[in-house]
Every structure is written in C-alpha cells, then in structure tokens.
DNA sequence: CCAAAAGTGTTATTAATACACCCATGC
DNA sequence: GCATGGGTGTATTAATAACACTTTTGG
C-alpha cells in the first residue's frame, strides 16, 4: 500500500557537526575531502539516509563511522532544503550536531576520513551550505548550554571547575569571573566533588568533580532548571 | 551529473502547525480529514515536497493553501524521520509552525479543507506523529516567545496591552501581574502607543499599541534583547 | 449609580555583578 | 622562595515579584 506513489522522491543527506573541547578551546571535526564532489575542500561529515533506518539512526551511524563512538549526545539541528544547496544533485540534508569528549574519539577512524579538529574561530570556508549549518549549530549550542547541562558531554567524566569554566568561556567567547562562576555552579547542587585532584595542569592541583545526572533529574522534576 | 544515483530516495512531506489567538486563547488549526489515509481522524495540514521548490517554499505553499496568507511568520521545527511514522509509506516529514493573526485567515479555504480552530488545551489525538510535533511546537513557541517578539504575529497590527497580556498568559498558561507586565513591556520601548482606543471589550476602552519593528531592530543592533 | 475592565507606584526580595587576597605545591 | 594556578567572601546593583486602589463609561 502506497498512497503517495505520484509524489517526487529525493535523496536525503545527513550532515554531522562534531564539537569537541580541549586545552585549546572549542573545536569542530572537519573533513578535508579526498573524494568527489568538492574534493580538496573542507566539509562536514555526511552520509545518506537508507530505506530501513530512521533519520536519527542515520545520523548515529554517520557519527559513529567517523568517531567510533556509539552513544553520544546528538541533537537534530534541522533540515536544509534549498533546491541548489548541493550542486551534485538535489539533496535535502538533515543536519545534526554532536558533543563529544575529544579523548574518546577513535583516532584511526578520524585519520581514515581525513578529518581534523579545527578551533571554532579558525573554521575555514566549507562546501555547500555547511558554513551556515555550523553557524546555526553554534547558536544552538550556546542557547542550549545556557539552559541545560549539555556542556558536560564535551568533558571527560571527571573534570575540574577551572576546566568547566574554560569550557563555558570557549562556548560563549567571554571571560567569566571565577568566584561567580563557581558560586553559581556549586549552588545548583548537580556537581559531585571527588576526593581526587587533577595535578596535571597546576602544582596545587584542582579537585575533580562529576556531573550527577540522577540528582539533576530529581531537581528537574521539582521544577529546577539549569542555567549558566 | 548526479553523484548519488545509487542512494535511496524518499518522499518528503511537509507538515504545518498553525497557531492562532483570539478571545478564547491560543488555538491550533487542525484538519478533520475527509480523505485517505486516516480519513475521519484529526491531523495537521500537510503536503509533499516538489522537485522544483525548496523545503521552505513547500511549507509556504502548504500554509498559504490552507490559510490564504502568503507572507506569514513561519519557522522550521525539524525533520521527523522514524521509519514507521507514516503507515501509508516511508515519508520523512519536515515540520513547520506558523503564527498567524486569526482574523486574516481565508475562511473559505479553511472550510474547504475541513479545518477547525481548536483550543490548545483541547487538542484531540492526532494521526501519525503529529501529536509529538504539536508538543514540540508548543515548547518551541514558549521558548521563542520569551526571548523574541514573535508573539506579535498572533495579534492584529493594533492591539491593546490587556490583549497582549492575555496572549502571553495563553502561551505560558500562567497568570501575570498586570502592573509588572505593563512595566516590562513598556520599558522595552518597542511598543508605540496610538491615539485610538479599543472600545469593544470594555466601556472605558483600552489604548491600542503597535509593535515598532524598526525600533526593535535598532535596539537589537545595540545589544538589546527582547524578554518577557 | 454601579459593574467591569483599564490604568497606575512603591516596597521587598532575589539574583547578578564587581572585586582582591591567601593557599598549595613543584621547581 | 617564588611562580603558577586554585580557592574563597562581601558589598553593590539590577531585576523580579508582590501588592490595592482609582479611573472611565455604557447600561
């Protein structure tokens, strides 16, 4: 049974923006294309939707293919559907962005796809409408990170408060006051202080914390909302 | 030239959520389907993407077909792509929501499509994943309306402050304090008070205002952001 | 003259911002 | 012992929330 047999059919693409964070700041995982079309140019990682999978599944598949990570934080950004957006052929693309802990990437895979981590303020021009996608993704990340605890997906499980602060500073491109930042973060009661210290980045060492998701969910049930 | 000829192809649907507002509150324009599939059930207005149009254009076309309005406030909500979402056939749907001034609708067209305005708190069960779409659209509208002046699209050009307050109360399903609401609205300096009064809804009459978009844009350039 | 909705200010509370010094440690 | 980054508290300001009476006018 097919009610819509007279309707036009389209290729559906899935393009993925991968955010990462390290000591140098916020970064994107971009491909220097060694394949056609637009060989030699920079682009996002992409793929095509297959018949037997959902659009979300396709995005997961593409993201996992590049990063080796099966379960990651991922959100749909939206569909990009200009007629001429892809000169190769008419393709409607559904764009996703993912937040990953940069240490978890599979470096083999990343090399295989000729992908590189590029600082957010040094992103080159990208093919098609991919620059627009990145722009929107950054806006979305900023909005989202300011009202929901998604930023933690960019960090390892254990992180220090100075590290967390650098993350938010990288996302918003502003400098934050150390005392006010800590006060606010700790006041939300969703961070759990660990015994252990990170002695890598300073002599004194900074205490590790971890995000307590159960606690967060409990608070949300009672009307709490995260905000930085 | 077609680089992607081996890839699967899909029907792409466009589903549209139409918000309206009148004295009874916030409403949705829903279709009681007198056609297959799912004849007799409630659904959103939809259509299919055609080869020669962009996805945004398709949404505009569908919205205009139903409401008679060519230029309306419309935003993409996202793509819905579960394999089984439409039992009729595999269709990836891209959902939009629109905010219209309920007085501008073409009643003939609305009747033709067997569409009805349903209060937001009385929305029946909808076909496929349309209920999910509506849920997401409401969330989006709430977020959007609290940080950007999109609400004015639901009102006539001239509106009164009590009317505007009722609009926000309808969107957020809360009661607001009259004095605080006026103070905040007027403090943003984007409303222009008119000489004329609305004498319909009260004996004393309430002054009409209109949203000054130029003024708003100027303020935005200087870093202002709208917030209710 | 009265019912019904419009309009108007002040105070209290809470949240956001600004700001400077001591601490621990590896070298 | 000193350079480096980690950690802490208070005072000011701004935003939000709470709250009650007067005005206008059609019927």
Is A4 in contact with B91 (Cβ distance < 8 A)?
yes
Model confidence, pTM: 0.96
A53 touches chain B (CB under 8 A): yes
**Other CB atoms within 10 Å distance of the CB of residue B61:** 17
- Look over chain B and give the mean of its residue pLDDT values, rounded to a whole number: 97
Quick one: tokens of B157?
């050009």
The tokens describing A224, both together, are 């709490």
Query: Alpha-carbon distance B91 to B216, whole Å?
Result: 40
Assess B92–A contact: CB distance below 8 Å, yes or no. yes
CA-nearest of B106, B84, B80, B87 to B14 is B80
Query: Which residues 127-186 in chain B have a CB closer than 7 A to strand D?
Result: 177-180, 183-184
**pLDDT at position A2:** 73
B176-220: per-residue pLDDT in tens? 999 999 999 999 999 999 999 999 999 999 999 999 999 999 999
Taking CA–CA distances from B3, the nearest residue in chain A reads: A88
CA pair distance B162, B50, nearest whole angstrom:
43
Predicted confidence band of residue B20 (pLDDT cuts 50, 70, 90): very high
Edge-to-edge strand list for the sheet holding A159-160:
A159-160, A206-211, A191-198
Count the Cβ atoms, other than its own, within 10 Å of residue B148.
Answer: 14
Classify A33 as helix, strand or coil: coil
Query: Distance (Å, rounded) from C-alpha B146 to C-alpha B157?
Result: 20
- Going by the DSSP 8-state scheme, the letter that residue A171 receives in this structure is H
**Measuring CA to CA, how many Å separate B174 from each of A197, A221, B140, B159, B166?**
46, 19, 17, 20, 10
C-alpha span between A73 and A61 (Å, rounded): 13
| Residue that the structure tokens 């905040």 belong to | B184
Is the CB of B202 less than 7 A from some atom of nucleic acid strand C? yes
Query: What is the separation of C-alpha B208 from the centre of its chain, rounded to a whole number of angstroms?
Result: 23
A181 touches strand D (CB under 7 A): no
Q: Is the CB of A227 under 7 A from strand D?
A: no
pLDDT per residue as tens, chain A (228 positions): 578 989 999 999 999 999 999 999 999 999 999 998 899 999 999 999 999 999 999 999 999 999 999 999 999 999 999 999 999 899 999 999 999 999 999 999 999 999 999 999 999 999 999 999 999 999 999 999 999 999 999 999 999 999 999 999 999 999 999 999 999 999 999 999 999 999 999 999 999 999 999 999 999 999 999 999
Burial B105-130 (b: 16+ CB within 10 A, else e): beeeebeebebebbebeebeebbbbb
Q: How many CB atoms lie within 10 A of CB A87?
A: 12
Contacts of A41 (CB under 8 A, 6+ apart): A32, A33, A126, A127
What does the pLDDT look like over B69-88, one tens digit per residue? 999 999 999 999 999 999 98
CA distance B160 to chain A (A): 31
Considering only CA atoms, give the Rg of chain B: 20
How does pLDDT run across B39-76, given as a tens digit for each residue? 999 999 999 999 999 999 999 999 999 999 999 999 99
Three-state secondary structure along chain B?
A: CCCCCCCCCEEEEEEEEEEEEECCEEEEEEEECCCCCCCCCEECEEEECCCCCCHHHHHHHHHHHHHCCCCCEEEEEEEECCCCCCCCCCEEEEEEEEECCHHHCCHHHHHHCCEEEEEHHHCCCECCCHHHHHHHHHHHHHHHHHHCCCHHHHCCCCEEHHHHHHHHHHHHCCCCCHHHHHHHHHHCCCEEEEEEEECCCCCCCEEEEEECHHHHHHHHHCCCCCCC
Rounded Cα distance, A98 and A61, in Å? 12
Cα angle B48, B40, B118 (rounded to 5 degrees) comes to 85
- Residues A92 and A83: their CA atoms lie apart, in Å, by 8
Residue A111, C-beta contacts closer than 8 angstroms, at least 6 positions apart: none
Tell me the CA distances in angstroms from A223 to A211, A219, A220, A226, B174, one per residue in order. Answer: 19, 7, 5, 10, 15
User: Strand C: which bases are under 7 Å from protein Cβ?
Assistant: 3-10, 16-20, 23-26
Angstrom CA distances, A33 to A98, A133, B87, B168, stand at 20, 17, 38, 49
Within 13 Å, how many C-alpha atoms sit on residue B62's CB side?
28
Percent of chain B surpassing pLDDT 90: 96
The answer, yes or no, to whether residue B102 has pLDDT greater than 70, is yes
- Chain B contact for A227, CB < 8 A? no
Task: Give residue-wise pLDDT tens across range A7-25.
Answer: 999 999 999 999 999 999 9
Q: Note whether B227 contacts A: Cβ–Cβ < 8 A.
A: no
Cα–Cα dist A65/B222, whole Å: 44
């Amino acid at each position: 049974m097919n009610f819509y047999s007279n309707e036009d059919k389209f290729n559906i693409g899935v393009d993925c923006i991968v955010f990462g964070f390290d000591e140098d700041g916020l970064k994107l995982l971009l491909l220097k294309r060694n394949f056609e079309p637009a060989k030699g140019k920079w682009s996002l990682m992409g793929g095509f939707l297959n018949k037997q999978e959902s659009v979300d599944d396709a995005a997961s598949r593409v993201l996992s293919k590049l990063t080796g990570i099966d379960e990651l934080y991922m959100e749909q950004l939206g569909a990009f559907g200009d007629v001429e957006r892809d000169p190769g052929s008419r393709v409607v693309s559904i764009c996703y962005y993912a937040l990953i802990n940069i240490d978890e990437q599979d470096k083999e895979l990343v090399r295989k796809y000729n992908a590189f981590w590029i600082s957010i303020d040094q992103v080159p021009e990208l093919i098609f409408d991919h620059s627009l996608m990145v722009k929107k993704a950054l806006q979305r990340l900023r909005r989202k990170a300011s009202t929901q605890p998604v930023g933690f997906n960019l960090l390892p499980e254990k992180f220090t408060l100075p590290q967390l602060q650098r993350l938010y500073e990288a996302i918003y491109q502003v400098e934050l006051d150390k005392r006010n930042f800590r006060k606010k973060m700790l006041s939300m009661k969703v961070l759990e202080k660990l015994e252990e210290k990170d002695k890598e980045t300073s002599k004194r060492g900074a205490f590790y914390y971890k995000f307590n998701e159960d606690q967060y969910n409990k608070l949300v049930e009672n009307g709490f909302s995260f905000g930085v």
